[in-house]
Structure 1
Amino acid sequence: MIISMFAPEADAWHTRFHESSLGNLSAIAIAPPGLSMLFPQILCTQDGLICQATLGEGEINAAASMTALVLCPDLNLKHTYFLLAGIAGVNPHQATLGSVALARFAVQPALQTEIDPRSLPENFSTGYMSFGRNRPLEYPTILYGTEVFELNVALRDAASLLASRATLADDDASRRYRALYRDNKSYANATLPPSVVKCDCTTSDVYYSGTILSQVFEDTTRLWTNGSAVYCMTAQEDNAVLEVLLRAAVHGLVDYSRVMVMRTASDFDRPPPGISDLHHLTRIDQNGFVIAIENLYRAGMEIVRGILAGWHSTYSRGIPAPNYLGDVFGSLGGTPDFGPGSRFDGKAVKPAGGRRPGRRVVSRVRVPAS
């Protein structure tokens, strides 16, 4: 199941898919209630082996559409591999325009309290403070459960190898903008051609940009994962989608160990030396959009091909995860290697509090006429 967030990401697959010799990606259309009004159908090949859905941008759209998808009665998703495939901003310390990132962690660093930076105390580096705290960059004492998700690192590594088979697109416009970062040695990776990298993603509805904000969220990502995550790609949907998939996994509807997050870099999250944050965000075309969309398909198609080709030998039975899987609460069982530990004593949450699926929970209520 290929998951896109908005039309250009979806178009990358539908425009080029005929070249794959794997069928027509829109041969079958399924329209369950609850999908985005802009993208009301799940599209599949005739054999049903490959499907694609577009969720809509932002956390609310993504969660609502993904919920409709996993609850669709026409789909059996218990053995499905999910490829969350979208474009993103990129940290110039880690990668460059057009690069492809496969993630182990997805972090929601904007899920904090905030005061206006113009009213900060002198010893504060940011207006962001974790819930339950009164200073920046302290671990939250109040958790919502969506702050951090960890994915199957063995599957991530396998997907990275498959994606590395692709010849990634590049162009002169992107090369010119990359060159602006060469005066800062810490941005060496930003000046290189596109590549496949293993690093992590953040989720924020706010499209943030600039050196200070990006550094704050980079530090937050490191803090909330006990130093394990590598802040790399900035996006708007991943944690929302992963929360839906995790809840679906609790009920046996999907296999959370079969989820992949792939992002391709369309822009830098902070400016090159000598350019202001505002100018970088609003007045300069970084020119990474075209190659990011193209590489979404090129790298993603290699992952799709690899899973199909290796289905009987490897992927049908799943790839065992050597690491913890799930959220900060420990909802799928085990003890998170980040945060305060499992809320459930290391045990997996049972569906509906242990009730059998399908059991009536609420009796019919008779409402008197007014």
Structure 2
Amino acid sequence: MSLALFIRHFAQRALLHIAKHRSSSTLSKSFALAVFKGVVISTLSVNAYASEEEPPMEVKVVVVSMFEIGDDEGDAPGEFQLWKARQKLTTKYPLPHGFHDVYANTETGVIGIVTGMGIARASAAIMALGLDPRFDLSKAYWLVAGIAGVDPADNTIGSAIWTDYVVDGDLAHHIDAREIPSTWRTGYFPLFTHAPYENAEQVDVNNSPNGEVYALNLPLAKWAYSLTKDTKLLNNDAMNLLRAKYTHSPNARTLPNVSMGAHLSASTFWHGEKLNSWANDWVAYWTQGKGNFVTSGMEDSATLQSLTYLDNAGLVDKQRLMILRTASNFTMQPPSLSAAQNLKLESSGEGYAAMGAAIEAAYNVGSRVTNYIVQNWDSTKDSIPVTE
């Protein structure tokens, strides 16, 4: 029996139950009626969303955005809007069990999802999509394309960074800095240790039991970088003025470019020189020095955890995941400002100087990978591309 037929059958049984027990208490009748209404709505939903006559859509690329500023079209774009318009994602698949409806180009096999901001929403949205019977995701490539903070020691605003490692910044012990031993440089230290950065030699980058670190498919990431490294990225006067303040950071004063680096995923929007130093130490610890902290964001460890479970179930191939983070802001202040002053400047008024450029970079760089996969589906369907 299909899910739709099962729900219809259950609705009929609920109706009979209501009729049979008319003399029961008001509470029982109210409960039964609520159940009946629920299954009727579910029946309509399943009929609308999962037609028994249509096979699941074979998805070639899933574009994962984290937020949209306003509407999906016609106003200032967030991470999703350019993808929806330029990839012609015009077919709507309602996703009431997720944060945002899925949009697809049924001819190219590209779909777009908005997870919502933060670990909880991202994890739920990716799992909701991965379990959705309307989509065949078994051969799909996943492209996370979103904005991020960037370490001024490594790169500059407006740049696009392909990720090699994702490190979770939330799983930890934390003792307030006012109560830590005088020999400690931080009160934030890994779970199952008793002091900052103990047992570093026991870290297994490729087998993290609690999701503290994920190593992405490095050959695929390098291929994406090689394909897109010469992409022309946007710049403007406001970005030039901001990066000129970083007098102690030569890489911060360069023009936007495409590079690679590690990503720190944490629900707290942190900022400042002290926490930037922590981020570098934290990433180095969890990658055993193989990864260098370059970008900061919120959702990617959650996305990877959901994809890992879905991969275990044979529904997706987590080796086909790519993460592209584009720099909308710096993760610490310039020498002329305090951390609080800089964060206030960036989070008020017109916002980040590089927001628009970073959103454009995510599409301009990411779409080159998406288009290549779609246009070469005869080979990319069964063979993950690598650099020659």
- TM-score range normalised by the length of the shorter chain: 0.7 to 0.9
**Are 1:263 and 2:325 an aligned pair?**
yes
Match of 2:103 in 1: 43
Match of 1:34 in 2: 97
Of stretches 129-138 and 187-196 in structure 1, the one that deviates more from structure 2 is 129-138
Query: Which stretches of structure 1, 4 residues or longer, exceed 3 Å deviation after superposition?
Result: 139-144
Asked whether the equivalents of residues 88 and 266 of structure 1 are also in contact (C-alpha less than 8 Å), the reply is yes
Match of 1:127 in 2: 187
Which protein has the larger Cα radius of gyration, Structure 1 or Structure 2?
2
TM-score, normalised by the number of residues in structure 2: 0.76
Asked whether the equivalents of residues 139 and 224 of structure 1 are also in contact (C-alpha less than 8 Å), the reply is no
Q: Distance in 2 between matches of 1:258 and 1:268?
A: 29
**Are 1:301 and 2:367 an aligned pair?**
yes
Q: What is the Cα deviation at residue 297 of structure 1?
A: 1.1
Change (3 A) 1:11 1:94: same
Q: What is the Cα deviation at residue 179 of structure 1?
A: 0.7
The equivalent position to 1:65 in structure 2, one of 112, 115, 125, is: 125
Kindly provide the amino acid, as one letter, of the partner of residue 311 in structure 1: W
Root-mean-square deviation (CA, aligned residues, Å) is 1.9
Query: CA-to-partner distance for each residue in 1:50-94, whole Å, 9 max, x for gaps?
Result: 110001000000001111000000000010000011100001111
Gaps of 5+ in 2: 1-61, 69-77
Asked whether the equivalents of residues 231 and 258 of structure 2 are also in contact (C-alpha less than 8 Å), the reply is no
**Are 1:248 and 2:310 an aligned pair?**
yes
Match of 2:63 in 1: 2
**Are 1:190 and 2:252 an aligned pair?**
yes
Aligned length: 308
Q: What is the Cα deviation at residue 272 of structure 1?
A: 1.2
Of stretches 139-148 and 222-231 in structure 1, the one that deviates more from structure 2 is 139-148
Query: CA-to-partner distance for each residue in 1:167-205, whole Å, 9 max, x for gaps?
Result: 2111110111111112x1xx2111101100011111000
**Are 1:174 and 2:234 an aligned pair?**
no
Asked whether the equivalents of residues 329 and 354 of structure 2 are also in contact (C-alpha less than 8 Å), the reply is yes
Q: Distance in 1 between matches of 2:97 and 2:198?
A: 38
TM alignment of 1:2-151, pairs within 5 A: 2-7=63-68, 8-15=78-85, 17=86, 24-26=88-90, 28-36=91-99, 39=100, 41-47=101-107, 49-139=109-199, 144-151=209-216
What is the SS of the residue equivalent to 1:213? helix
Asked whether the equivalents of residues 217 and 320 of structure 2 are also in contact (C-alpha less than 8 Å), the reply is yes
Q: Distance in 2 between matches of 1:321 and 1:135?
A: 41
Q: What is the Cα deviation at residue 227 of structure 1?
A: 0.7
Q: What is the Cα deviation at residue 48 of structure 1?
A: 5.0
What is the SS of the residue equivalent to 1:103? strand
Asked whether the equivalents of residues 106 and 150 of structure 1 are also in contact (C-alpha less than 8 Å), the reply is yes
Kindly provide the amino acid, as one letter, of the partner of residue 355 in structure 2: F
Asked whether the equivalents of residues 223 and 386 of structure 2 are also in contact (C-alpha less than 8 Å), the reply is no
Match of 1:310 in 2: 376
Asked whether the equivalents of residues 152 and 321 of structure 1 are also in contact (C-alpha less than 8 Å), the reply is no
Q: Which has the higher helix share?
A: 2
Match of 1:289 in 2: 355
TM-score, normalised by the number of residues in structure 1: 0.79
Match of 1:159 in 2: 224
Kindly provide the amino acid, as one letter, of the partner of residue 207 in structure 1: F
Asked whether the equivalents of residues 264 and 296 of structure 1 are also in contact (C-alpha less than 8 Å), the reply is yes
Q: Distance in 2 between matches of 1:294 and 1:35?
A: 26
Q: What is the Cα deviation at residue 157 of structure 1?
A: 1.1
Kindly provide the amino acid, as one letter, of the partner of residue 146 in structure 1: G
Q: Distance in 2 between matches of 1:171 and 1:31?
A: 38
Q: What is the Cα deviation at residue 34 of structure 1?
A: 1.7
Query: CA-to-partner distance for each residue in 1:318-341, whole Å, 9 max, x for gaps?
Result: 22789xxxxxxxxxxxxxxxxxxx
Asked whether the equivalents of residues 33 and 68 of structure 1 are also in contact (C-alpha less than 8 Å), the reply is no
Gaps of 5+ in 1: 323-370
Q: What is the Cα deviation at residue 283 of structure 1?
A: 2.5
Q: Distance in 1 between matches of 2:307 and 2:96?
A: 18
Query: CA-to-partner distance for each residue in 1:254-295, whole Å, 9 max, x for gaps?
Result: 111111011000110111112111111112454121111111
Percent pairwise identity: 30
Match of 1:347 in 2: none
Q: Distance in 1 between matches of 2:103 and 2:83?
A: 11
Q: What is the Cα deviation at residue 10 of structure 1?
A: 0.6
Q: What is the Cα deviation at residue 33 of structure 1?
A: 4.3
Kindly provide the amino acid, as one letter, of the partner of residue 358 in structure 2: A
Kindly provide the amino acid, as one letter, of the partner of residue 97 in structure 2: G
Q: What is the Cα deviation at residue 311 of structure 1?
A: 2.5
Asked whether the equivalents of residues 262 and 294 of structure 2 are also in contact (C-alpha less than 8 Å), the reply is yes
What is the SS of the residue equivalent to 2:144? strand
Q: Distance in 2 between matches of 1:321 and 1:145?
A: 29
Q: Distance in 2 between matches of 1:78 and 1:2?
A: 15
Match of 2:300 in 1: 238
Kindly provide the amino acid, as one letter, of the partner of residue 105 in structure 1: Y
